[in-house]
Structures are given as C-alpha cells and as structure tokens.
C-alpha cells in the first residue's frame, strides 16, 4: 500500500497519506482545513538492499592491492571487507582471520 504526499490548495499544508486500493480518489480531505482540494505531490523515495545484495559491494579493482602470498595483505583485505559490511560478519569470519594470523593454532 503506497504512501502519497498531498498539498492542500486552500491552506498549503503538506501531509502524507496511506492510500488503499479501495480508497476513492475524491475521499481525501485536508487534515488542517477539511478542504477536498488536494494535489498529489511527487515524493522522494528510497529502497533498501538485502544483506545478500550488500555482499556484491566489491568493485573489480578492490583486490588490486591484495598479495595472496602475504598473510598481512590477506588479513588487511579481510578487515576492509568486514568494515565495508558494517561489521556484520559471522563468527566464522573472525575465526578465519585468526587462522590466517596464527596458522599453527
């Protein structure tokens, strides 16, 4: 059910309304002055990406400075990945970083 913004052409008040599919178009009135003379406004919008989509954050050149043969480089890269994901990483992620830094246990 969409939210729409309206402006009253009588008093100028802006208001947001949840509009159901069964709501008659002429059934809305201003909350300030009760006028039926409302104009629907073009509203801004936002969308949220799922956590799974956020995993596709890495551009093609993000691993350009990664040296697979250097432990510090791998750990640093994993740290940047964790920060880019807002710290929302699994316990396994932390365990893997510890294993990289302490391969003998």
User: Residue ranges per domain, the chain?
Assistant: 3-41, 51-101
DSSP letter at 17 equals: E
Across the range 26-44, mean pLDDT stands at: 87
pLDDT in tens, 36-88: 999 989 877 777 777 666 666 566 666 777 777 777 888 888 888 787 778 78
More confident residue, 100 or 44: 100
Q: What is the mean pLDDT of residues 1-19?
A: 88
DSSP string, 36-90: S-EEEEPPP------HHHHTT---GGGGTT--TT-HHHHHHHHHHHHHHTTT---
Tokens of 52: 């799974």
Question: What's the pTM value of the predicted model, to 2 decimals?
Answer: 0.41
Whole-number Å distance between alpha carbons of 56 and 35: 49
């Amino acid at each position: 059910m969409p939210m729409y913004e309206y402006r009253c052409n009588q008093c100028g008040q802006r208001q947001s309304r949840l509009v159901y599919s069964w709501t008659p178009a002429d059934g809305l009135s201003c909350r300030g002055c009760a006028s039926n003379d409302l104009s629907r406004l073009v509203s801004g919008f936002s969308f949220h990406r799922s956590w799974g989509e956020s995993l596709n954050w890495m551009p093609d050149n993000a691993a350009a400075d990664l040296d697979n043969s250097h432990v510090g480089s791998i750990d640093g890269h994993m740290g940047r990945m964790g920060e880019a994901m807002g710290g929302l990483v699994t316990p396994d992620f932390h365990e893997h970083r510890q294993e990289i830094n302490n391969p003998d246990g």
